[in-house]
Amino acid sequence: MSETGITISQLLDVAADDLKDTLHEHVRAHAAHADFPATLLGFVAEEAAEAVAAQLRLDVFELVFKAWAAVDELREYADPAKHPPGESAIVHWGKCRIRAPQAIDIRLGIAGISLPVLRLTLALEAEFHSLALTIRDGAIRKLSPGTASASVALKYGDATLIQPCRTPEIAFRHGIEFEQGLRIV
């Protein structure tokens, strides 16, 4: 979908050390599991890092582009009374920023005992110097960005585990078309 090829895993190098303290805190928060030895928790932290890394092989801008379908200002374009079927509209934005947080749920266990789900958040946001969206039938059909950059951080609740890492500025040569459309919600 995106022409950048920049994945979240290229920006965030998640290591077990990044997750050990978080995992200890998560386990302590669930009293029934609070007495596991540190060596076991270290092993689980390694597995958690691998599980997180597996979920980060996603294109940064693909996730950002999908987030535009949830922007409040676009909801009227999903209303067939305001924009009849078949009508195309082009919405232009000047300099703009979008936040696209992504939840990552990690399911882990120790010695055959399932731990409560560890929920991490990718704090993903992007800034565009300009943007045009082609909308038809309540869905974004084409997204034409100018120059853009994105940043992503890894969080657990309010705690930042990995500080934001930024992509270089990217000049998109042409628009990105969505064959099925990104349904505006």
User: What are the sequence ranges of the domains in the chain?
Assistant: 8-183
**Residue 149 vs residue 106, higher pLDDT:** 149
* CA separation for the pair 120, 18 (Å, rounded): 12
pLDDT on residue 33: 54
pLDDT above 70 for 31: no
Angle at CA of residue 68, ends 139 and 145, nearest 5°: 100
pTM for the whole structure = 0.80
